[in-house]
A = this chain, B = another copy of it.
Amino acid sequence: MSWLQREIRLDPRPRGFHLITREVVGALQPELSEVQAGLLHLFIRHTSASLTLNENASPDVRDDFETWFNEAVDEDFRGWTHTFEGPDDMPAHIKASLLGSSITLPVRAGRFHVGTWQGIYLCEHRDSGGPRRLTVTAFGEGSD
């Protein structure tokens, strides 16, 4: 049984959806490459940003995510009462819960065992979210 628990700090990114697969894989070496069969849990320690898996090829998919979520969770919604942190704050909380604060992936033979087109998105819902902190926990059968 191999265990790995580690913090990853993501540099500030603009509001929108960002592909972070490569950065996450890099931060988990060399231990990830030793997990033969297991799971990886990626968790974001914030309430106004989120994580999801989606299409990793076309930047316009990520643009369309931003456009659709801004329309679906409107900053101008008349029902907001929690407004003192700015117009982007309450929509960010809703978006974060719609998308979720963690993803869990299968690991096999030292790699994420996901579909060809699946990439990890950091979903930054604030205008100025600052750096974001992730906690990664991986566990499984090791190679020895």
Q: What B residues does A73 contact at CB under 8 A?
A: 68
Shortest C-beta distance, A88 to chain B (Å), equals 14
Please state if B115 and A47 are interface contacts (CB–CB under 8 Å): yes
Residues A115 and B93 in contact in the complex (CB < 8 Å), given A47-B55, A68-B73, A106-B5: no
Q: What B residues does A80 contact at CB under 8 A?
A: 64, 67
0 or 1 for each of A56-76: is its CB under 8 Å from B? (1 = yes)? 001011011101100111000
Please state if B64 and A81 are interface contacts (CB–CB under 8 Å): yes
A73, B65: Cα distance in complex, Å: 11
Task: Check if A90 is an interface residue, CB within 8 A of chain B.
Answer: yes
Q: What B residues does A3 contact at CB under 8 A?
A: 37, 140-141
Would you list the 3 A-B pairs with minimal beta carbon distance, nearest first?
A: A45-B115, A67-B79, A60-B82
